[in-house]
Structure 1
Amino acid sequence: MHLYLIRHGQSYVNLKDWQGGNQDTGLTELGHRQAAALGVWMPTEIKNIDVIYASTMQRARETSAYVAAAYGVDVIADDRLREIGNNRADHTAWPSDDLPEYSDYWGSERPFASVTPDREGGESLMHFRTRVGSFIEDMVERHRDEVVVAVCHGGVIELVFDHIFNVGPFRRCEVWCKNTGITRFEYVEHPRREAWRLHYHSRADHLQGIESAFEVAKIGRDLDTGSQPPTAD
């Protein structure tokens, strides 16, 4: 099995000046450009895919639509791919219009405590790892000889690393992934070797020039509307 994990495009909750808390927001204008570039580039590198899964959160669904259009493959929504804290301890999803707020501690600091302590029934890091691991093992059983794409979140990708490389509960892999970055794993059964192989992480060839071109265009729009362009500190 070839497994491609894709982080969603830039969403409003990713913005440095975002003050809206934990919300199920969609993609920004830049996020849509990133996802569109992804949809154009992927078929040049990955000729065929068999199935696309996506988190049920809006930013992942919007990103997956570009990939689905590029390949003519329908998207399968899966709550197990939602970002940490957005599911209950029983792995069911919180309502998109009523998401809980996060704790002030990292999940790896208190791996068995809820990461959303103000909401009864919230998941811990271990609950999160269990649901992500469940998805990975399910993919192995269902799609052993196929090419799988999963559009998800940065936290999900980190927990896939934890699951595959068997990282303990009080540690976690901090593996930063760019928006629409691609991580490729391969599952190969071998009697004397580990089954999982990592080919690359956060590959983003399709983003070359996207961010800089977007910033230039944004400055131009600001000048047209009388706004001041950013200045160097």
Structure 2
Amino acid sequence: MARHHGAECMTMPTSVLLIRHGDYVHRPSPAGEAASDHGLSPWGLLQAKALHDRLAITPALRADLLVCSTLPRARQTAEAIAPAWGIDVRPMPALCEWESGNEALGAEAFAAQFHALPAPERRHHRFHPGCETVAEFAHRVCTALAELTTRHAGQGLAIVAHGGVIEVAFQHFLGFGPGLFEGGYPAADQASLTLWRHDQGRHDAWVQVFANDTDHLRHADGSDHLA
């Protein structure tokens, strides 16, 4: 995408709008499968509608490309907001949440194992056979972000994904490298918006414009309820 002014052509900065999926129905499966994600809940559907309505009236948040995780909660959120921009949804498996093994182990057992490890050791620990380490997950997401921003330089990208993906995106754009934040982590509430824009000027770097914006949810259910 380029903006023309007379004989000059100014390339627009690449932007990445990160959107976390809405609230969803979670029923752990006995086998610990991804089927535990049963799509958006009634509140999640209201969140997605509020997202759509905000994006439809906010030209500054216009997207040229909409990609999403293949998990039901992300796909349904993306499909709900796509009409605001009149574009199709492109599912990408690389944008799925961390396959940590927590579903197979159970939330309590996973949390106990996770917190028993020193933070640096968590990066390469495989919590369950066949699942990803933190480092592998971060590499997957960072590779996808690098490919998307390179292939679609000068465009507005919208990505509907998960809290873990948004956390890795902070590491990617700030240049921290793979791994979990050890002293804290960036908030990413359900149906939140986080915007990154590439500064092509003197710094040639990614700039966080805003993060974890959920103002559109203030009256999503007719009250002041916030996700």
Q: What is the TM-score normalised by the length of structure 1?
A: 0.75
The superposition leaves residues 157-206 of structure 1 with CA deviations (integer Å, 9 ceiling, x where unpaired) of: 0011112223355651611112110000011334x525100000011221
Are 1:176 and 2:187 matched, yes or no? yes
Distance of 1:78 and 1:3 partners within structure 2: 15
- Verify the 8 A CA contact 1:86 1:100 in the aligned structure 2: no
- Verify the 8 A CA contact 1:30 1:214 in the aligned structure 2: no
Partner residue in 1 for 2:71? 57
Matches within 5 A, 1:133-144: 133-144=142-153
CA shift in 2, pair 1:186/1:214, >3 Å: closer
Structure with the larger strand share: 2
Partner residue in 2 for 1:161? 170
Partner residue in 2 for 1:205? 215
Q: What is the aligned counterpart of 2:124 among 95, 98, 112?
A: 112
Shift, 1:86, TM fit: 6.4
Shift, 1:36, TM fit: 0.6
Kindly, what percent of the aligned residue pairs are identical?
28
Unpaired stretches in structure 2, ≥5 consecutive residues: 1-13
Partner residue in 2 for 1:188? 199
Are 1:146 and 2:155 matched, yes or no? yes
Distance of 2:49 and 2:179 partners within structure 1: 38
Distance of 2:131 and 2:71 partners within structure 1: 17
Partner residue in 2 for 1:132? 141
Partner residue in 1 for 2:4? none
CA shift in 2, pair 1:202/1:131, >3 Å: same
Structure 1 residue ranges (4+ consecutive) displaced by more than 6 angstroms after TM superposition: none
Q: What SS does the corresponding residue of 2:57 show, helix, strand or coil?
A: helix
- Verify the 8 A CA contact 2:63 2:158 in the aligned structure 1: yes
- Verify the 8 A CA contact 2:139 2:178 in the aligned structure 1: no
CA shift in 2, pair 1:33/1:214, >3 Å: farther
* Higher mean C-alpha deviation, range 168-177 or range 146-155: 168-177
* Higher mean C-alpha deviation, range 120-129 or range 203-212: 203-212
Shift, 1:113, TM fit: 1.2
CA shift in 2, pair 1:25/1:46, >3 Å: farther
Distance of 1:145 and 1:170 partners within structure 2: 28
* Higher mean C-alpha deviation, range 42-51 or range 198-207: 42-51
Question: How many residues in Structure 1 have an aligned counterpart in Structure 2?
Answer: 196
Distance of 2:80 and 2:178 partners within structure 1: 35
Distance of 2:88 and 2:105 partners within structure 1: 32
The superposition leaves residues 119-156 of structure 1 with CA deviations (integer Å, 9 ceiling, x where unpaired) of: x2211000011011011111221111000000000111
Q: What is the TM-score normalised by the length of structure 2?
A: 0.77
